[in-house]
Chain A
Amino acid sequence: MIFPMATVFRYSLLEGAILSPDPTFVGLQNFKTLFADPVFLQSIGQTLYFTVMSVIFHLIIGLAFALMLNSHRVNPRVRSILRVLYILPWLFTAVIIAIIWRLILDPNGVVNAILIDLGLLDFKVEWFSSPKTAIHALTFVNIWAGYPLYMVTLLAGLQGIPKELYEAAAIDGAREPQQLWHVTLPQLKPIIVSIALLDFIWTMQVFPLVWMTTGGGPIHATEMMSVYTYKLAFSRFQFSLASASAVIIFILSMAMTYFYIKHQNATN
């Protein structure tokens, strides 16, 4: 773990890493080159948008499902069947998720057909290949694929909240919405912060899903930092530049990891 990291840092300071038998030391030149590239800057913004939107919606959907599945108003058998079904999107590997959604969101596909039938669209939208919609379509797919982690952990968290807290709140005259706000959410907060931080770290590094849906296109509209890095390394073989870009992703991830570890230690 430590040796490869040292290696990638070393590569990022060289010119001609991996390819040249005798690479030269160029200091921070690779980083300067990156920050002068508008596509790289665009990829930072897009990665941020994709990540923040994903985390917010993962949380909203995961929490909503968890609360509904935990509700005493719903038949227990229905709850246990739905719990199994709601987790399913999580079992699929990114490549398969990508291809399923490419079929569904195809211009001639089922989503367009339904939306046109309902009168919500008047033409066939090219969800993944139009620069306007591609990043939103991609984010939507990632939201679909990622909410179950939140749902499962929050459901476990909900079941761990002591009943006495609700009884006490009820005695104090708190109605259900108030109980949700003053008892449930504060109790879940440590779990929510933990998962949201981890999810932020993981989503920021997303590669296969983007690679398989849009490949970063059209015209860089869905370029993510990881895809940008991969193309530099394995399409253009500029390993030094790619290493610099990979180091930047690493530093961002580690900054978030620092908060994550701090949070974990504070809650333990």
Chain B
Amino acid sequence: MAIRSKKKFDATAWLIYFGLGVGLVFSCFPIVWMFFTALKSNTEIFALPPRILPEVFTLDAYRSIFSDPVKIRFFINSYLISGVVTLLTVIVATLAAYSFSRYEFRLKKPFNLLVISTQTVPPITLIIPYFGMVVTFGIFDTYAALILTYMVFTLPYAILLMTGYLNTLPKDLDEAVQVDGGTSWTALWRVVVPLSIPGIVATSVYTFLLCWNEFLFALTLTKSMDLRTVPIGISLLMGQHAFEWNEMMAMSVLGSLPLLLLYLLAQRYFLAGMTAGSVKS
């Protein structure tokens, strides 16, 4: 029986706290294990009994990654491709959204269908014709192959996101600029863009995330080591017979770092991007 202190003992509250504790172990243990394994020496990884903290902290795994040009290249490629796609997507989506939200737009229904279809058409189905097309256009195994195909997936949703955002801005704003003798362009750059920073951030985060994590297209449309992104790099290293677990974990930490930082710094935008399309628009 419960000890009655000043506060009434609340069994339900204890039960919830217990549930939350179990939930915390379930959700975070694998991630904690990854972080600390990256700091262990390889002899210690399967040591019994298992310990979370390393006996000897070592940065060897990270050192070996940063001294290997091939591995550094994976990261450069990921940043480059994700960065370029994000930039292009945001520019095109903002322009498109501006015209959609400021001028009469008749194709709303088909456009919404397009957005839903980019989210539900199986990538595994699309990869086959895209592979055929990329080979035909002679861009197989180039950055362009990935940048162009990624944009097919990111643009529709980015346009939807930006249009929704621009619709919340009053139209008299840019009309006021035009009355003062500015053009649509001035209105866009001077007034609309600065005011839509939150929408632009959410779109960027969503796009960056999609590109950074993409696996199937990066695996299939590139071939040379020079063009491989981080997820593919990790999978190739895994395929080798004797891979070093601590180094694989260090690669994983580095490969998740940008998203972890984005998430912690821009949580609100991040969640807006993550729940892309799964919530009623």
Residues of A within 8 A of B (CB): 1, 3-5, 7-8, 11, 17-18, 61, 64-65, 68-69, 71, 73-74, 78, 82, 84-96, 99-104, 106, 108-110, 113-114, 117, 144, 149, 152-153, 156, 176, 191, 194-195, 198, 201, 204-205, 207-208, 211-212, 225-226, 229-230, 233-234, 239, 242-243, 246-247, 249-250, 253-254, 256-257, 260-261, 264, 267-268
Contacts and interface: CB of A to CB of B under 8 A. Distances in A.
A207 B124 contact: yes
A250 B128 CA distance: 12
B122 A249 contact: yes
Contact of A103 (B117, B129, B249): B249
B234 A1 contact: no
A262 to B, nearest CB: 12
Interface residues of B, number: 72
Given A1-B121, A7-B133, A84 B267 contact: yes
Nearest to B124: A226
B33 interface: yes
Contact of A100 (B17, B19, B34, B123): B34
Interface in B240-281: 245, 248-249, 252, 255-256, 259-260, 263-264, 267, 271, 274-275, 277-280
A82 B255 contact: no
B50 A114 contact: yes
A88 B28 contact: yes
B207 to A, nearest CB: 15
18 contacts: A4-B133, A17-B132, A68-B20, A85-B27, A89-B30, A95-B234, A100-B31, A102-B238, A108-B46, A149-B278, A205-B123, A211-B215, A229-B124, A246-B124, A249-B124, A253-B120, A253-B125, A261-B113
Given A68-B20, A117-B49, A212-B238, A88 B152 contact: no
Interface string B1-44: 00000000010110011011001101110110110010000000
A229 B253 CA distance: 31
A91 B256 contact: yes
Contacts of B31: 88-89, 92, 100
B216 interface: yes
Q: Which of A94, A225, A256, A260 has the most CB of B within 10 A?
A: A94
B128 A99 contact: no
Nearest to B232: A95
B128 A242 contact: yes
A73 B12 contact: yes
Contacts of A17: 132
Nearest to B49: A113
A249 B121 CA distance: 9
